[in-house]
Amino acid sequence: MSAITVNANRVDASRAPAAARPLNLEADLQRVRQLAQLMDAQFEIAGIKIGWDAIIGVVPVIGDLATAVVGAYPIYIARKHKLGKWVQFRMAGNVLIDWAVGEIPVLGDLFDVGFKSNIKNAALLERAAARAGQK
């Protein structure tokens, strides 16, 4: 039985082994950039950029937990493209700091506006991808 099935002139690559699927790093980087913009800098109020991270984070406990789960996406992309454990560790640290401080009422919400962990993680991912491309 073939690993790839063909139905009515359509190839189902989802059934192909992971090694056979193309790894489109640039598309993944673009999605991470869009996510970072959405979560950390989607809106501007009085010259200050805020995103959904700060807005959702206002909801006690669940808000910061939800944004931490979303913030794990760049870590998944780094792992998927084998960009290094150190990069994954640093990104996880940013998400953890954002989540932990975000749990503090009011102060955590202000911290979310300034820390911008998603933008930091997108930049870390971009640098790691550039280094991997140079090797």
Q: What is the pLDDT of residues 75-92, one digit of tens each?
A: 999 999 999 999 999 999
In the chain, where the domains are located:
23-134
Listed in sequence order, the residues at least 6 apart from 80 whose beta carbon sits closer than 8 Å to its beta carbon are 23, 28
* Side chain identity at residue 123, one-letter code: A
Q: What is the pLDDT of residues 32-45, one digit of tens each?
A: 999 999 999 999 99
Q: What is the pLDDT of residues 57-72, one digit of tens each?
A: 999 889 999 999 999 9
Number of helical H runs and strand E runs in the chain: 7, 4
| Strands in 3-129 per DSSP E | 5-7, 10-12, 43-45, 48-50
